[in-house]
Amino acid sequence: MNQLTLSIIFYLFAAVTVVSAAFVVFSKNVIYSAFALLFTLFGVAALYVFLSADFIAITQLVVYVGGILVLLLFGVMFTNTIMQTDIKTDVMHVVPGTILLILMIAGMLYTFYTTGDWMPGEAQLQGSVVQRIGIETMSRYMLPFEMASVVLLVALLGAAFLARYDKAHKNEH
Amino acid sequence: MEMFTAIGLNHFLTISAILFSLGMYAVMTRKNAIVILMGVELIMNAANINFLTFSKYNGGMEGVMISLFVIVLAAAEAAVALAIVINIFKTFKTVDVSSVDTMKE
């Protein structure tokens, strides 16, 4: 694949990511936002492949699209009564928010593009990184890996405890 | 023309800056707690793109490993935050964050 095809594919996925992220933010309907977030996460996963982090891209698909997005959709369904046909979200501070949005994009792009050239290292990541991730996980990042597993276990137990169906509370009403 | 066809570090940084700002905008302006959570996810994805970009062009594995841990913590955060949102809905019958102003029932 030559350079031109590669950059066309890159711009395609970049456009998908940015446009659907804008749709997530600007859409008034929560369901539409949730489905636009699906396309944003797919686009970001494709960008991860461009950054030769294929394992992270697959993890992104499994965890974000398969887990977090479904959880968010469940949240939308739970917190809206069936009678309420239009699931809207109101806005506040629109003008300061828009000013901040434009200023932040402009400021960051100005900083990135004017503070001199980046100097990439000699040995960039090439091809697949799966094997190196395995080696790093079992050597340098052993303790953080175990801590992450404990944090995930505790957080999910706590979430299940917080969101459980409260029978005693229900009987009071 | 060279600047647009050769995909380099700045392209990824641009996308991540736009994603971060959009997520910030969602957190600032939306009233629905679930859309605010979506904004937080956008911010985390922007940070992940930055980590992976610098890791790729530096040649080290640090950014790749940290982005894995970010994904794990994002999963934990989403689960706990949605449990809290569901509890807020049980108590206040709404998920409008500007009308949630007391910690007692």
Q: Which domains are present in chain A?
A: 3-113 (1.20.120.1200)
The answer to whether residue B66 sits within a structural domain is: yes
Sequence-ordered alpha helix ranges (H) in A27-92 = 30-50, 54-60, 69-78
Residues in A touching B3 (Cβ below 8 Å): none
Q: Angle CA(A132)–CA(B19)–CA(A45) in degrees, nearest 5?
A: 35
The answer to whether residue B103 sits within a structural domain is: no
Please enumerate in sequence order all residues whose Cβ is within 8 A of that of A62, keeping only pairs 6 or more positions apart, or say none: none
Residues 26-85 of B with CB under 8 A from A: 26, 28-35, 37-39, 41-42, 45, 48-49, 52-53, 55-61, 64-65, 67-69, 71-80, 82-85
The answer to whether residue B70 sits within a structural domain is: yes
Q: Is A82 exposed, middle or buried (0-12, 13-18, 19+ CB in 10 A)?
A: exposed
Phi, psi of A29 (to 5 degrees): -95, 125
**Where residue A167 falls among pLDDT bands split at 50, 70, 90?**
low
The answer to whether residue B26 sits within a structural domain is: yes
**What would the mean pLDDT of A105-131 be, rounded to a whole number?**
86
ipTM of the predicted structure? 0.90
Q: Does B10 touch chain A (CB under 8 A)?
A: yes
Question: How many domains does one find in chain B?
Answer: 1
Nearest CA distance, B23 vs chain A (angstrom): 7
pLDDT by residue (tens digit) across A10-45? 999 999 999 999 999 998 888 889 999 999 999 999
Residue B2, pLDDT score = 66
The answer to whether residue B100 sits within a structural domain is: no
Taking CB atoms and an 8 Å limit, are A133 and B42 in contact across chains? no
Sequence-ordered alpha helix ranges (H) in A51-166 = 54-60, 69-78, 94-114, 130-138, 142-162
Q: Beta-carbon neighbour count of residue A153 at 10 Å?
A: 11
The range of the structural domain enclosing residue B43 comes to 8-92
A83 vs A93: CA distance, rounded Å = 29
Which of B64, B66, B84 should be substituted to probe chain A, the one whose Cβ sees the most A Cβ atoms within 10 Å? B64
A79 vs A68: CA distance, rounded Å = 16
> What's the length of chain A?
173
A89's tokens: 């979200």
Which of A8, A28, A49, A51 should be substituted to probe chain B, the one whose Cβ sees the most B Cβ atoms within 10 Å? A51
The answer to whether residue B104 sits within a structural domain is: no
- Smallest Cβ–Cβ distance between A148 and the set B10, B53, B69 belongs to B69
**Where residue A91 falls among pLDDT bands split at 50, 70, 90?**
confident
The single residue listed with the structure tokens 């395609």 is A12
- Smallest Cβ–Cβ distance between B24 and the set A100, A137, A159 belongs to A100
Residue A74, pLDDT score = 87
Phi, psi of B79 (to 5 degrees): -65, -50
Residue A84, pLDDT score = 58
pLDDT by residue (tens digit) across B21-72? 999 999 999 888 899 999 999 999 999 999 999 999 988 889 999 999 999 9
Q: Quote the percentage of chain A above a pLDDT of 70.
A: 90
